[in-house]
Structure 1
Amino acid sequence: MSYKHYYVGDSVLSTGDYEVHTGDCVELARVESKTYLGYYDNCQDAIRKASDIYPNVSGCKYCSPGCHRR
């Protein structure tokens, strides 16, 4: 298992989703405001946590492709 730090961007995307990233994702550097979700071994747990904060959540297609919805 590979645990990673996960974050959710605080701005809604044009798709209507809030995007979840790992702490080492290159796309995370472009996110101006983010909320730390925790240290997980999979994106599904991070998505569940982010869903407690925002209604529509998707994983980043680069760092969390298994949780990317579009």
Structure 2
Amino acid sequence: MPNYIVNKNAQANGDHEVHETTCAHGPDFWNRQDLGWHADCKSAVRAARVYYSQSNGCYYCSKPCHTS
């Protein structure tokens, strides 16, 4: 079960990206909101939406939850 985080800074389209903590494309430490351990990215994105309603999975580490 991976540990997930969400980027506090939105992308240009307004999405806050959800990453596994080991992702090389994740945000800097001070721009992370910890989401804890989740069985999959879908659960992590749901948790991120508590903080940011427009949340999305990372293309690289959470591809099943990534939307264009």
Sort the TM-score into its range (normalised by shorter chain). Answer: over 0.9
2:43 aligned to which of 42, 45, 48: 45
Q: 2:53 maps to which residue? A: 55
TM-score between the two structures when normalised by the length of structure 1: 0.90
What one-letter code is carried by the residue in structure 1 that aligns with 2:58?
C
Stretches of structure 1 lacking an aligned partner (at least 5 in a row): none
1:69 aligns with 2:57: no
Please give the secondary structure, in 2, of the residue aligned with 1:52: helix
> What's the Cα RMSD here?
0.7
Question: Structure 2 regions of 5+ residues with no counterpart?
Answer: none
Does 2:22 align with 1:24? yes
Aligned residue pairs total: 66
List, as ranges, runs of 4+ consecutive aligned residues in structure 1 with deviation greater than 2 Å: none
TM-score by length of 2: 0.93
